[in-house]
Copies of this chain bind each other. A is one copy, B any other.
Amino acid sequence: MPKTLAKAPQKSRIQHQNQAVILKAALEVFSAYGYRGTTVDQIAVKAGLSKPNLLYYFKRKEDIYVAVLEHTLEEWLKPLRMLDVGGDPFIELTRYISEKLDMSFANPPASRIFANEILHGAPHIQKFLKGPLRELVEEKVKVIRHWIAAGKIKPIDPPHFIFAIWAVTQHYADFSTQVEAVLGSADGKAQVKLAVAEILLRGLKN
């Protein structure tokens, strides 16, 4: 078997695998310590690579960070996209809140790296916020307005209602340290879901 044919795919596979390992490690470290609080060495150690080897895959520290952010944002929008104007508002919104809470509990680092980025002025994702995110919100604002116009839910300010859902659901990822400190021990997922859904949705019932 000729070397050239055998090696090319193998290299790609290793590359692909290493990139995934790096992104996973980088997410955890960036999320815990912030952009400048993170050293390339920390990421390399967590990924099981040497620092120069890691920098072979991503030339600069910032490149790793941007790759992690983009990878995370892709997942982030999925639940909101699924909000269906044809469905029952309370079922749709309950599902959305439930999925966002699931994400917060399952992957706090993903929420935190995003929170950290915005907290510091979102220098790397301005375009994303003003483009795809804004368009998606505008689309779902229409969905909520439609439900209001159809008399299915009480009138509410749609964009601020979306902000409220984001704020409350992500609170359980970003501020879990505080939640646990104040509660003593964290409540179960099911209890949190019930409480949050009631707080955010009961006021919409006719």
Q: Using A156-B198, A198-B157, A199-B157 as known contacts, say yes or no to A33 and B120 having CB atoms under 8 A apart.
A: yes
Query: Could you say which of B34, B119, B205 contacts A112, with CB atoms under 8 Å apart?
Result: B119
Q: In the complex the two chains form, is B160's CB within 8 Å of A202's CB? A: no
CA distance A32 to B123 in the complex (A): 11
Instruction: Kindly report how many copies of this chain are found in the complex they form together.
Output: 2
- Check A57 for interface membership: any CB of B closer than 8 A: no
Q: Give residues in A with beta carbon < 8 Å to B.
A: 32-37, 112, 115-116, 118-122, 126, 129-130, 133-134, 137, 154, 156-157, 159-161, 163-164, 166-168, 170-171, 174-175, 177-179, 181-184, 187, 191-192, 194-196, 198-205
Q: List 29 A-B contacts (CB under 8 A).
A: A34-B36, A34-B37, A34-B116, A34-B120, A36-B37, A37-B37, A115-B115, A115-B119, A116-B116, A118-B174, A118-B178, A119-B174, A122-B177, A129-B182, A133-B178, A133-B181, A134-B181, A134-B184, A137-B182, A157-B194, A160-B195, A160-B199, A161-B195, A164-B199, A167-B167, A167-B170, A198-B203, A200-B203, A203-B204
